[in-house]
Chain A
Amino acid sequence: GPKVLQIPSHQIIDMGQMVTLNCDPVSNHLYFYWYKQILGQQMEFLVNFYNGKVMEKSKLFKDQFSVERPDGSYFTLKIQPTALEDSAVYFCASSLELGGPSSYEQYFGPGTRLTVL
């Protein structure tokens, strides 16, 4: 089936550094999402993105966070500067949301495990 890719799978960085997480969504999808999940816990919505713009963001999407998808390339989440509490697995997801109910299904990437030291 359709696949979402995420690069890298793991990232270890020092607190205060910048990190960029990359997502290659399903090719014809229109909506893109980032979620944060601390090990084995709840999947928490960060932000969704459509037509080049942020549509909604949660309280977890701090000022240090930004997203973009320049010219149909990777959908990225940048954190600058990072903090200890940013350590988590970050999942990217995409959906089509055009047409029938099945188009609302979100396809998730395998996640990027971010460790901030």
Chain B
Amino acid sequence: QQKVQQSPESLIVPEGAMTSLNCTFSDSASQYFAWYRQHSGKAPKALMSIFSNGEKEEGRFTIHLNKASLHFSLHIRDSQPSDSALYLCAVSRAGGYKVVFGSGTRLLVSP
């Protein structure tokens, strides 16, 4: 049974800082790794996903995956108040297998 855990549970960073969010998973057969962002009262929306070991950068966001360590992370450069939200990591074996979400990290970026 896939277990997905996120850390920290919550985080407050000043505007302009680097934010790092972590996610660990238990199923070594997992193939799809993603971060979703959910603003209060809204639906989650996919931010970035990765399939293979390494890094992927899109704008201010970087996702890093280390399958051997069963760990992936999201880094937000130059954090903005608009980045304040609940961040959910998601893991799946893909190919129609269920996607398991972590419990979330609540990020607050203070102006």
Chain A positions near chain B (C-beta within 8 angstroms): 4, 31, 33, 35, 40-45, 48, 50, 55-56, 58, 91, 97, 101-102, 104-111
User: Measured between alpha carbons, how far is A106 from B44 in the docked complex, in Å?
Assistant: 9
Chain A residues with Cβ below 8 Å from B60 are: none
Given A56-B97, A97-B96, verify A42-B43 contact (CB < 8 Å).
no
Contact of B94 among A40, A91, A104, A108 (CB under 8 A): A104
Q: Is the Cβ of A43 less than 8 Å from the Cβ of B97?
A: no
Taken together as a complex, chains A and B put the C-alpha atoms of A31 and B95 apart, in Å, by 10
Known: A40-B86, A56-B97, A56-B98. 5 other contacts (CB 8 A): A97-B95, A97-B96, A101-B51, A102-B49, A110-B43
Contacts of B103 in A (CB 8 A): 41-42
Q: Which residues of A contact B44 (CB under 8 A)?
A: 43, 91, 108
Q: Please give the distance in Å from A22's CB to the nearest CB on chain B.
A: 15
- B residues contacting A by CB (< 8 A) are 32, 34, 36, 38, 40, 42-46, 49-51, 86, 88, 90, 92, 94-104
- Chain A residues with CB under 8 Å of B36's CB are 106
Is A101 a contact partner of B49 (Cβ separation < 8 A)?
Answer: yes
A106 touching B99 in the complex, CB below 8 Å, given contacts A40-B86, A91-B43: yes
- Chain B residues with CB under 8 Å of A42's CB are 101-104
